[in-house]
């Protein structure tokens, strides 16, 4: 594998998808890892584009088969990252971008440490996050309150990430994200470093 992994985490409503979209022309070719989930699609979401939507039974079968790089239960639903497309993209030398939660970041970093760069994306404050969650009108009040409580826990893990991006102004946050993404491509895994040392000494 010759590619790199960039893990993005942060509260739901932090604007991760918006930032990726705005920065896409600055970061070159990449593979966005689409998560598999057992939750129902929101209005406008498409299977195979936003998520792979599957039944709880199908997800649990894939768990038994060892098909996930990482998976977690969030708000009563499973979310996971299928291993096969990630390995294929890395073998092609691509930057693989993940949008996963804090728990997922821990699991991916534990399994693929040499390849991983991570960034935590967050609004400037809890009150701003609340405003954004209510403004997008995709969830009922109970779900929004769960997301807010979850965010209060996620922010405590901010020190586990390589970078922090405060999404106050989208253009500024997108530029910072592009810088991090391009830096992730330059990160060398241990195998590549060993090859460099060998080449350097022999030539």
Confidence label for 87 from pLDDT (cuts 50, 70 and 90): confident
Give CA–CA dist 182/113, Å, rounded: 18
pLDDT surpassing 80 at residue 1: no
Predicted local distance difference test score (pLDDT) of residue 137 = 76
pLDDT surpassing 70 at residue 2: no
**Phi, psi for residue 74 in degrees, rounded to 5:** -130, 125
Predicted local distance difference test score (pLDDT) of residue 50 = 87
Quote the mean pLDDT of the chain: 91
Domain annotation for the chain: domains and CATH numbers = 4-33+94-202 (3.40.50.300)
Q: What residues are paired with 85 via a beta bridge?
A: none
- How does strand 36-37 pair with strand 163-166? unpaired
Helix, strand or coil, per DSSP, at residue 122: strand
Predicted local distance difference test score (pLDDT) of residue 18 = 92
Which pair of tokens denotes residue 155? Answer: 């922010």
pLDDT (tens digit per residue) in 63-84: 999 999 889 888 899 999 988 8
Give CA–CA dist 107/90, Å, rounded: 18
Span 128-148, average pLDDT: 89
Predicted local distance difference test score (pLDDT) of residue 168 = 94
Predicted local distance difference test score (pLDDT) of residue 180 = 96
């Amino acid at each position: 594998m010759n590619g790199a992994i960039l893990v993005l985490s942060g509260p739901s409503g932090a604007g991760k998808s918006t930032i990726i979209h705005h920065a896409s022309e600055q970061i070159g070719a990449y593979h966005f890892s689409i998560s598999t989930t057992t939750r129902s699609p929101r209005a406008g979401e498409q299977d195979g584009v936003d998520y792979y939507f599957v039944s709880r039974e199908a997800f649990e079968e894939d768990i038994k088969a060892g098909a996930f790089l990482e998976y977690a239960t969030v708000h009563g639903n499973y979310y996971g990252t299928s291993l096969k497309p990630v390995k294929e993209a890395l073998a092609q030398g691509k930057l693989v971008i993940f949008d996963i939660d804090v728990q997922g970041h821990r699991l991916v970093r534990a399994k693929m440490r040499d390849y991983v760069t991570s960034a935590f994306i967050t609004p400037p404050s809890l009150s701003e996050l609340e405003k954004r969650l209510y403004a997008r009108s995709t969830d009922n009040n109970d779900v929004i309150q769960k997301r807010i409580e979850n965010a209060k826990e996620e922010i405590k893990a901010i020190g586990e990430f390589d970078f922090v991006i405060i999404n106050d102004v989208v253009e500024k946050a997108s530029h910072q994200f592009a810088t991090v993404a391009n830096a992730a491509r330059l990160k060398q895994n241990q195998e590549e470093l060993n090859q460099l040392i060998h080449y350097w000494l022999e030539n």
